[in-house]
Chains A and B, each alone.
Chain A
Amino acid sequence: MVATKPELLATAASLEELSLLADAGADAFVIGESRFGARLPGEFGLEQIGEAVRIARGSERRPRIYAAVNNLMDNRTVGELPAYLGRLAEIGVDAIVFGDPSVLMAAREAAPQLRLHWNAEMTSTSYAQADYWGKRGASRIVLARELNMEQIVEVKQRTSLEVQVQVHGMTNIYHSKRSLVDSYLGHLGKAPEQVDSALGQGLFLMEADRRDERYPIYQDAYGTYMMSSDDICMIENLHELLEAGIDSLRVEGLMKTPAYNETVVRAYRAAIDAYAADPAGYRFDPSWLAAIRRVQDPSRELSYGFFYKEQVY
């Protein structure tokens, strides 16, 4: 029996990386610009998004292009949303990703034909929430990375929406509207200009009792982001998600080089294809993980994230 293949979803920092990862086997990309989208590896203005759509249509795999419109919006930005979404619809993106209901309001008004993916990151936590956004027009729910396998599988069984989970890379663990790095520099008597705290500048936090963990931190115009100290890596147990019929598997490319992301996409591509060709005879191939390990930053552990954890509260 041949299984239906889930989508392998990637991010990209540039058009070049997008082409590279499309060739490596990505089925879809999330791209956008920081005015509307949060925690993006690179800036894609409307023109670049248009170019990405053209590249995608012209390539053999014909990957889908999703636009990230997932900021927590303020009054000023919501005024710009209808025009922006209208342009995205004209360009022909395959869906938009959102986590603030103002985007849904703007889409209803300016671009009702756009497909909508609900992604509020840590707060997308149940099948009931999936159904809620489904009834209001979303076709996909992107689940919180803090859910475990059992919960993910149950969401998939109980909702009719497409279900997306992150299978690889870092996650955002804290988002503040404050400029926390600048504030702390001020406390130390330093000017904010003395330290470049933007994405990719290598700043990290260490917590007093966890000195072997490095939590990347960066700032932009919308606040401060703290990221996980480890990278999720589900390649060994991917079959559990494939058996469950999860619709989209995301590899997060934030703060990684194109070469790293290419290796990761190839590994997951191989696993997904192998499973689809023969689900019953599928075996995890250790060389997939070995390839990832070769490019993995040794200070960042590969982990199962919350997939096998029981949390208390």
Chain B
Amino acid sequence: MGMTMNKPRYQGKRYRLDRPELLAPAGNLEKLKFAVHYGADAVYIGGQKYGLRSGADNFSFEEMREGVEFAARYGAKVFVATNIYAHNEDIDGLEAYLRKLEEVGIAAIIAADPAIVETAQRVAPGLEVHLSTQQSVLNWRTVQFWKEEGLPRVVLARETSLEEIAEIKSHVDIEIEAFIHGAMCSSFSGRCVLSNHFTDRDSNRGGCCQSCRWKYDLYVDGDTIAEGEEQMFTMGSKDLCMIRHIPELIDVGVDSFKIEGRMKSLHYVATIVNAYRQAIDAYFADPDGYELRPEWLEEVHKAANRPLNTGFFFDTPGTEDHIYEPEEKAAPYDFAGVVLEYDEQTGLAVVQQRNHFKPGQEIEFFGPGGTFFKQTVDELRDREGNRLDAARHPLQEIVLRVAEPVRPMDMMRKRIR
């Protein structure tokens, strides 16, 4: 159902000349740098407080400052997620925190709790306030409410369709941000307290433990509907992927294309940003001649860790849009290293190890803009020239011959199946 291809009526009625923003998650400073380097126009991060990913590394103010400076060199912005629903005890300290975000050069906060929205507007007017998807905004009247409250941008609920977005845009002149890739709650965001009930962890303050992906049994008339343990099901959603539908998203007027995943790996962030960056740029270079390139899709699948679908953009998700069985890792590739240096004369590269690799293994290198080649690992040496039977140590700097030129911050992955 989610993949139904009934063309929305605005298809082909191209009126957008301005490029949407590509907004990427960054769980730490290194991910921020790679997200920006691979083409994100803006990144969103979490600070030490008020964010919904209490499990991510999260940024200190010092790291934020460094991230903002790095991003500025690329003309990119940094947003901070302050998307919890605050309890009484969270309110103290909020003003100081928001002022500090403004001071270190954060461009916007992403907030759900109106108390945080209002406090930011009052004490840190230099911060833009974007309304978080945790508010589950589905309609234009509510968007208009937030516009009248002075917000320049609303992140819609993931439950909004392309048609509904077009209608919202036709009523209200405001920036609309929409999730276009990544994991989704199967509930309305913010409307799930399963983790509170199962484990006393507060989901709306970052404590969610993915309880919807646990195993359930459905009872009808007092009896289980399925036979046997293996029939227990999860309520988890497949992940969202809209790379096939860039023109439709641009046409309906989505201003910011948001990728989910502050908990995701460096490899994931770089790969996904890279694919969407290329698709968006290709569209604007030649809208009429635009075609989806198969390699973008292949790249996305190399990073995906769950099956993908198109969420609510075309239709309400149905049977094939959920994950019922325990999940298998989908991608047959693993992140293996990051390029630090390259010597044109010798054709040797220095790669920082991120996962075990060894001679004889099939690897591939990729970089911003879609540079890509495959090769087999040849001889490995350390910086001192000692021969290695394998790259075993995390962050170890490894010298190896590469088949084509590479640049610092290019990435290396290995085939695992």
A residues apposed to B, CB below 8 Å: 72-75, 77-78, 81, 100-102, 104-106, 121-123, 125-129, 131-133, 144, 146-147, 151, 154-155, 158, 173-188, 190, 195, 201-210, 214, 217, 223, 226, 228-229, 306, 309-313
Contacts and interface: CB of A to CB of B under 8 A. Distances in A.
Interface stretch (B6-14, B194-202, B241-249): B194-202
20 contacts: A74-B138, A78-B142, A102-B145, A123-B113, A123-B190, A125-B204, A129-B85, A133-B114, A173-B196, A174-B212, A176-B191, A181-B218, A186-B318, A187-B233, A190-B225, A203-B218, A203-B219, A207-B214, A208-B217, A214-B219
A129 B186 contact: no
The binding surface of chain A is classed by DSSP as mixed
A177 B88 contact: no
Interface stretch (B272-280, B319-327, B390-398): B319-327
B176 to A, nearest CB: 13
Interface string B154-188: 00010100001001100000000000000000111
Nearest to A226: B194
Contact of A228 (B85, B115, B197): B197
Contact of B187 (A123, A175, A313): A175
A208 B215 contact: yes
Nearest to B317: A178
B85 to A, nearest CB: 5
Contacts of A176: 186-188, 191, 235
A105 B141 contact: yes
A127 B88 CA distance: 6
The binding surface of chain B is classed by DSSP as mixed
Contact of A75 (B139, B187, B217): B139
A310 B88 CA distance: 14
B142 A122 contact: no
Interface residues of B, number: 77
A101 B219 contact: no
A121 B191 contact: yes
Interface string B315-351: 0111111101000000000000000000000000000
Nearest to A216: B219
A178 B316 contact: yes
Given A72-B138, A128-B86, A173-B197, A123 B204 contact: yes
A207 B198 contact: yes
B220 interface: yes
Contacts of A188: 225-226, 231
Contacts of A312: 200-202, 207
Contact of B191 (A128, A175, A181): A175
A73 B139 CA distance: 6
A226 to B, nearest CB: 7
B87 A151 contact: yes
B145 A101 contact: yes
A75 B146 CA distance: 15
Which 5 residue pairs of A and B lie closest in terms of their CB atoms, listed nearest first? A186-B319, A313-B207, A128-B115, A102-B141, A101-B145
B115 A132 contact: yes
B139 A102 contact: yes
A174 B187 contact: yes
B118 A132 contact: yes
Contacts of B237: 178
Given A78-B139, A206-B216, A174 B207 contact: no
A148 to B, nearest CB: 9
B136 interface: yes
